Amino acid sequence: MTLLREIQILLERTYGETGVNFEEFLLGPERAEVLAEWAGRMASQISDLGRTFLRTVEGDLRIGIYYDPRVIAALEHHNPQYGLNDDNVLAFMVFLEELDHAVHAALKFREGQREIYSEPFVRDLELQAKVDTYLILQMYVAFFNKPKKLTSHDRRWLRDCVFEADNSAFDEPLLRERYRETNRLGHRYVRHLDKLSASRRTAEIRRFRQLPYSQKCDRIAAV
């Protein structure tokens, strides 16, 4: 089973089935370049290591996922299925976040949320990706520990990887504020999740996904 398929199945078992295989949605560099031009000037400031492209055509959602060859090369040379370390964690984060965007965009669209260009929709995807990426990284790290559990050092390292790196160095004020807010909210929320048992954590994140973005913010403020 490919790494992409493995992660898609994991996400869908947690949140719901999309009904598609995202291996069929991968884009090459030329197509990604065209779509990036269509996305406009502001979107051009977003990292080119990975991109998820969304658009609607005659009432249907179209999704494309692009990974820079450097990301693919890093994952091929240091496969996360055999362990996580400083050599592959950044590439794996990019891989997870873009696939997570695609899965949740598809689920939201199927549920009737069609405003894919609205700021709440986009921020919802960013926040969800931060949370899911952190949780999936935890699973991979714990799997390779002898007791199959995370250490306090593991948690600190993963929080540093996912939340401490500066991901808001944008010229566009809207982008700076978007990424700072979703990073801050995600960091606070996963600290709450870390205190829950596995069963309670799963129930919590499933309820959390169903909330509109504004209510997600309220939920995080309350924990």
Tokens of 214: 């504004």
Which residues have CB under 8 Å from 56's CB, separation 6+?
62, 114, 116
Q: What is the pLDDT of residue 148?
A: 81
Domain map (residue ranges) of the chain:
3-222
Span 168-175, mean pLDDT? Answer: 80
Please determine, for residue 40, whether its predicted confidence score (pLDDT) is greater than 80.
Answer: no
Amino acid in the structure at residue 66: Y
- Determine the Cα–Cα distance for residues 185 and 27; give it in Å rounded to an integer: 31
Instruction: Give the strand pairing for 50-57 and 60-67.
Output: antiparallel
DSSP, res 85: -
pLDDT (tens digit, 9 = 90+) per residue, 54-96?
999 999 999 999 999 999 999 999 999 999 999 999 999 999 9
Indicate the pLDDT class of residue 168, thresholds 50, 70 and 90.
low
Runs of H (alpha helix) within 40-84: 69-77
Distance from the Cα of residue 93 to its chain's centroid:
8
The candidate with the shortest Cα–Cα distance to 104, out of 164, 25, 43, 17, is 17
What pTM was estimated for this model as a whole?
A: 0.94
Does residue 43 have a pLDDT over 70?
no
pLDDT at res. 4: 97
At residue 42, the pLDDT reads: 66
